């Protein structure tokens, strides 16, 4: 290891205590570190020497770290450490997906959900089938289904003499990306993708329900599901225990079913446990909740009608439709909260719009072409999904900074930049996954970057302005590490860039 005592860096590897781990729903797991790896770096050193000192941290031993720094005005790469080595981007993959979606679909692109019939209204009876067709909207809520039902009620309909049919054929029927681990698919991070899906709240984790476990008055804890649905079955194996005992509640959906297993102890004075559980086959989930919305508005089946999946006939009549928020607004929960489902929906939507096929293969083909046009060398990347959950995505740090440089020239760039997490800003939909990192000057409100985290992978790529006003683009890709957290290393690099003065 290099001797750095001459520049006052003797204490670089003396680790301070780390603050507690926290897990925030919809986001990566981070360690917020109290240590400052830049505190004793001589400010007069050239930029490359400062960065090299940080990269000598012992936690990087045996790991691979790719770093690239460019000037934002010219694209000149002013620093590289393994910048040309292909590495896993984790959720930095979302930068590629967002840029490709903006370039392909446009900032104001909207998804739609439509309700049709192949019959007609006679008196208060709809004589025919009622269809709900999804076109990928990941922001569809129970309130939207209630609104559909209210419109039908206003048309005087109280009975459905036919079937209630869900149409998800806008995309293919492949629900999970090819490299998703079984350990991820019961949770919101690995939710299934359908053209007809539903989100339980305004984080828009499509294809999930919220399961909340709270102290109960009997032998078991009380369990609440949002939205209310019979599509999932709660298997409550919890146990109420005395005040002051440890809470050990776990919530997990059983693979291949919609049985959600609640286990463990809940003290009488315990805090609520809350989890977002992915459902198996989201189309049926929407169908169940929509049927409940109809019933709540006084619309019921007449005869032997049933709820099932199918396809809207070409000659069906449109009754009501809902347009989603524009893409530029959807990018905020996508990038700031690192919403995996949005990445996969956008991938399939690009495939449908450009190639007429709502599949991962078609969407990834579109993405690769778009980012190649944005200056990324397509010969050195491998794309396997739109979220970054795959451990088979590969891109060098220098190619990521190249993409971020080219993005600045596009008319959609302002929307892209606005959706990035902002360091140290506590408001959730501003700071996002960086709200508890780099909370002091000169990084607070200055670093705008996408985080990423998988087992053995931690990444950070984005923009920062130096002390003398030079806007910089950076990418830090930490791969194959097993010693501690990489966030202090990444934050140190961003802090050096924010505090550096160029001659």
- Residues that are catalytic: 91, 94, 338
| Segments of 124-232 assigned E as strands | 125-127, 130-134, 159-161, 164-167, 208-214, 222-226
Q: Which residues of 332-362 are buried (b: 16+ CB within 10 A; e: fewer)?
A: bbbbbbbbbbbbbbbbbbbbbbbeebbbbeb
Largest separation between any pair of C-alpha atoms in the chain? 90
Count the residues in the chain.
503
Quote the crossing angle between the two packed helices 397-407 and 93-105, to the nearest 10°.
30
Closest alpha carbon to 185 in 233, 256, 275: 256
- Cα distance between residue 163 and residue 131, in whole Å: 8
Identify any residues that bridge with 81 across adjacent strands, giving them in sequence order.
67
Identify any residues that bridge with 461 across adjacent strands, giving them in sequence order.
450, 475
- Cα distance between residue 231 and residue 374, in whole Å: 44
Quote the crossing angle between the two packed helices 360-373 and 93-105, to the nearest 10°.
90
CB distance 89 to 490 below 8 Å:
no
> What is the Rg, in whole angstroms, of the alpha carbon atoms belonging to the chain?
25
DSSP result, 406-446: HHTTSTTHHHHHHTS-BTT--SHHHHGGGTTSS-STTTTTT
DSSP result, 141-171: BHHHHHHHHHHHHHTT--EEES-EEEE-TTS
In this structure, what is the dihedral angle of CA atoms 179, 182, 186, 191, given to the nearest 10 degrees? 10
- Cα distance between residue 224 and residue 274, in whole Å: 9
Give the helix ranges, DSSP H, for 199-296.
Answer: 282-296
Alpha-carbon distances, residue 329 vs 26, 44, 91, 203, 490 (angstroms): 17, 42, 19, 12, 28
CB distance 422 to 448 below 8 Å:
yes
Residue 404 φ/ψ, nearest 5 degrees:
-65, -30
DSSP result, 46-100: -HHHHHHHHTT-GGGTT-EEEEEEEETTT--EEEEESTTS-B--GGGHHHHHHHH
- Cα distance between residue 309 and residue 155, in whole Å: 24
């Amino acid at each position: 290891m290099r001797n750095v005592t001459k520049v006052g860096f003797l204490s670089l590897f003396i680790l301070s205590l780390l603050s507690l781990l926290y897990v925030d729903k919809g986001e990566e797991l981070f360690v917020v570190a109290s240590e400052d790896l830049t505190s004793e770096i001589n400010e007069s050193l050239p930029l490359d020497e400062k960065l090299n000192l940080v990269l000598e941290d012992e936690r990087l031993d045996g790991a691979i770290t790719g770093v690239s720094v460019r000037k934002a005005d010219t694209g000149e790469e002013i620093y590289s450490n393994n910048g040309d080595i292909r590495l896993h981007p984790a959720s930095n993959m979302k930068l590629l997906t967002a840029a490709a979606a903006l370039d392909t679909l446009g900032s104001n692109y909207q998804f739609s959900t439509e309700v049709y019939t192949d019959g007609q209204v006679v008196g208060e009876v709809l004589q025919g089938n009622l269809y709900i067709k999804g076109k990928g909207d990941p922001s569809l809520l129970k309130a939207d289904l209630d609104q559909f039902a209210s419109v039908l009620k206003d048309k005087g309909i109280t009975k459905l003499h036919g079937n209630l049919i869900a149409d998800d054929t806008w995309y293919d029927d492949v629900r999970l990306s090819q490299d998703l681990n079984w350990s991820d698919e019961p949770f919101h991070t690995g939710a299934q993708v359908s053209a007809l899906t539903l989100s339980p709240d305004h984080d828009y984790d499509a294809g999930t329900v919220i399961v909340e476990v709270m102290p109960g008055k009997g032998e078991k804890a009380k369990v609440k599901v949002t939205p209310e649905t019979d599509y999932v079955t709660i298997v409550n194996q919890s146990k109420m225990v005395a005040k002051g005992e440890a809470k050990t509640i776990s919530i997990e959906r059983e693979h291949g079913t919609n049985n959600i297993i609640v286990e463990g102890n809940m003290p009488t004075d315990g805090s609520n446990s809350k989890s977002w559980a992915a459902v198996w086959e989201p189309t049926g989930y929407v169908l169940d909740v929509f049927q409940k919305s109809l019933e709540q508005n006084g619309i019921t089946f007449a005869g032997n009608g049933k709820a099932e999946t199918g396809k809207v006939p070409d000659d069906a009549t449109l009754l009501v439709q809902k347009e989603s928020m524009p893409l530029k607004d959807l990018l905020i929960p996508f990038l700031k909260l690192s919403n995996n489902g949005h990445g996969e929906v956008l991938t399939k939507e690009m495939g449908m719009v450009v190639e007429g096929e709502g599949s991962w293969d078609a969407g990834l083909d579109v993405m690769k072409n778009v980012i190649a046009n944005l200056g990324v060398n397509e010969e050195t990347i491998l794309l396997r999904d739109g979220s970054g959950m795959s451990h088979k995505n590969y891109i060098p740090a220098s190619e990521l900074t190249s993409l971020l440089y080219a993005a600045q020239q596009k008319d959609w760039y302002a929307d892209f930049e606005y959706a990035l997490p902002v360091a140290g800003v506590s408001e959730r939909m501003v700071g996002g996954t960086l709200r508890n990192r780099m909370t002091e000057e000169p990084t607070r409100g200055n670093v705008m970057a996408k985080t990423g985290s998988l087992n053995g992978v931690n990444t950070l790529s984005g923009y920062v302005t130096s002390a003398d006003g030079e806007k910089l683009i950076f990418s830090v890709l930490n791969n194959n590490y097993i010693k501690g957290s990489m966030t202090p290393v990444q934050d140190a690099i961003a802090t050096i860039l924010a505090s550096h003065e160029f001659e």
